[in-house]
C-alpha cells in the first residue's frame, strides 16, 4: 500500500486470543480477514489492521492511505475492542501518524449562508466553509450534526484511544444523513436538499425550515459508496433520493445512457435533471398516497428494459422495506452482481421520515 499512514497500540487484556477471535469474526462480515498461527489481519476499503496476541495484551498495527482512512480503521477497531472485551479493557493510546491530533480528519464546521425552497416540499440549505473540495470524493452523503438551539456548539473529538468522543447532555448533537446536492468551489459552498415534513418532531426537516444565515452546523463525511463507471445507468428512488439522483446525472458523460424512475408526491415536486448523458426521466406521482405505501419504484424497475444489462450500474434510494425488496429483485431475480448495484435505505416507515 503506497504512502500508507500507520499507527500502533498495545492493549492490556485478560484474554487477548479470545478478543482477537471475536474481532476477526465480526470484521469478516465487513471485509477480508486472514487468520494465522501468529494472529490475524483485517482488510477493509479504508485500510488494514494486524492483530498479534501477546501475554496479557493484544498488539495492533493499523494502516490507511490517508489520515481519514487511518482514523476510520483505528476508530472501528478501538470501538469494537471496547464492545467485545467489555470492562476488562485498560486505558490505551495509539502512537504513530495522527496520534497527537484531537481533530477528526473528516469533520468540518460549516455556516448557513442561505436557505430556500426548490419545490413546495424540498428545501435547499446552502452552507459555506473552508476546504469544500474535501467533499468531492468518498461518497455522496454526509452526516449533518445539528447543535442544540441557543447553545454554543461542541463538536466531536478524537480520543487518544482512537474512539470518537461525542458531546452529551445539554450539548448533545442531532445527527442526520443527507446527500450533498452541489459543490461550488469558487463560492466555497455546498448545497444540501432536504424533504420537508411540516413536523417539528422531524429534527432534520425542522432544521431545514428554520436554518438562518450565520447558523453553525457540523458535517462528517463524505461516505455512502461510490458510483461505478458503466455504459448504462438505472437510477431510482423516492424524493429522499432525488438529490443524489440529480447529482449523479449531472456527473454522467455524454457517452452513456441513463434512465431515472423517481417517485414524488405530485407534479409540483418535479425538478429538471441536467445531464450530458442520454437521459430518460420517468416521474411516478403518489397523488395523495402516503410515502412508503406504494410500490411505484419497484414496479417501474420490474417493467424496465433489462435486455442490455452486461455493463449497467443501478442506484436506488428509498424506504427500508422497499429497498430490501428491490435489492432482492436486482440481485436474485435479475442476477446483477453486487458491484453493479447500490441500494440505500434512506428512511424507515416505522420511524420518523427524514
- Tell me the per-residue pLDDT of 42-71, one tens digit each, with 9 for 90 and over: 999 899 999 999 999 999 999 999 999 999
Q: In the chain, what percentage of residues exceed pLDDT 70?
A: 97
Residue 1 confidence (pLDDT): 44
d(CA 112, CA 243): 18
Summarize pLDDT for 195-248 with one digit per residue, the tens: 998 666 688 999 999 999 999 999 999 998 789 999 999 999 999 999 999 999
- The region of weakest confidence among 24-33, 58-67, 138-147, 250-259 is 24-33
- The pLDDT score that the predictor gives to residue 200 is 61
E strands present in the chain: 5-12, 32-36, 39-43, 47-54, 57-64, 95-96, 107-119, 122-128, 141-146, 157-158, 164-165, 174-184, 189-195, 216-223, 232-237, 257-264, 278-285, 312-319, 341-347
> What domains are defined for the chain?
5-96 (3.30.310.50), 107-223 (2.40.30.10), 232-347 (3.40.50.80)
Residue-level pLDDT at 273: 97
The yes-or-no verdict on residue 354 having pLDDT over 60 is no
pLDDT in tens, 60-100: 999 999 999 999 999 999 999 999 887 678 889 999 998 88
Give yes or no for residue 189 having a pLDDT over 60: yes
pLDDT digits (tens, 9 = 90+) for 4-52: 899 999 999 999 999 999 999 999 988 899 998 899 999 998 999 999 9
Amino acid at each position: 500500500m503506497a504512502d500508507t499512514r500507520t499507527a500502533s497500540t498495545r492493549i492490556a487484556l485478560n484474554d487477548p486470543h479470545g478478543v482477537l477471535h471475536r474481532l476477526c469474526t465480526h470484521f469478516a462480515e465487513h471485509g477480508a480477514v486472514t487468520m494465522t498461527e501468529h494472529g490475524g489481519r483485517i482488510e477493509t476499503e479504508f485500510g488494514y489492521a494486524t492483530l498479534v496476541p501477546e501475554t496479557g495484551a493484544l498488539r495492533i498495527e493499523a494502516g490507511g492511505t490517508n489520515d481519514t482512512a487511518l482514523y476510520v480503521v483505528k476508530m472501528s477497531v478501538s470501538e469494537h475492542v471496547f464492545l467485545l472485551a467489555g470492562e476488562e479493557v485498560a486505558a490505551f493510546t495509539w502512537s504513530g501518524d495522527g496520534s497527537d491530533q484531537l481533530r477528526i480528519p473528516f469533520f468540518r464546521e460549516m455556516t448557513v449562508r442561505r436557505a430556500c425552497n426548490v419545490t413546495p416540499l424540498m428545501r435547499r440549505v446552502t452552507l459555506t466553509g473552508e476546504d469544500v473540495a474535501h467533499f468531492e470524493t468518498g461518497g455522496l452523503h454526509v452526516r449533518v450534526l445539528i447543535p442544540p438551539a441557543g447553545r454554543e456548539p461542541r463538536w466531536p473529538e478524537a480520543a487518544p484511544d482512537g474512539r470518537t468522543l461525542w458531546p452529551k447532555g445539554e450539548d448533545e448533537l442531532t445527527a442526520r444523513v443527507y446527500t450533498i446536492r452541489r459543490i461550488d468551489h469558487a463560492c466555497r459552498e455546498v448545497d444540501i436538499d432536504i424533504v420537508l415534513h411540516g413536523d417539528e418532531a422531524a429534527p432534520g426537516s425542522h432544521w431545514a425550515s428554520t436554518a438562518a444565515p450565520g447558523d453553525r452546523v457540523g458535517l462528517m463525511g463524505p461516505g455512502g459508496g461510490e458510483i461505478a463507471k458503466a455504459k448504462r445507468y438505472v437510477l431510482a428512488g423516492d424524493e429522499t433520493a432525488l438529490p443524489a439522483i440529480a447529482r449523479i446525472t449531472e456527473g454522467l458523460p455524454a457517452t452513456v445512457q441513463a434512465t431515472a424512475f423517481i417517485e414524488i408526491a405530485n407534479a409540483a415536486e418535479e425538478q429538471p435533471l441536467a445531464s450530458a448523458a442520454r437521459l430518460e426521466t420517468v416521474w411516478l406521482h403518489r397523488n395523495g398516497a402516503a410515502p412508503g405505501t406504494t410500490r411505484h419504484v419497484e414496479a417501474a424497475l420490474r417493467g424496465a428494459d433489462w435486455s442490455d444489462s452486461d455493463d449497467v450500474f443501478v442506484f436506488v434510494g428509498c424506504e427500508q422495506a422497499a429497498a430490501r425488496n428491490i435489492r432482492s429483485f436486482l440481485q436474485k431475480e435479475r442476477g446483477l452482481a453486487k458491484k453493479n448495484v447500490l441500494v440505500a435505505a434512506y428512511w424507515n416507515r416505522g420511524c420518523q421520515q427524514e
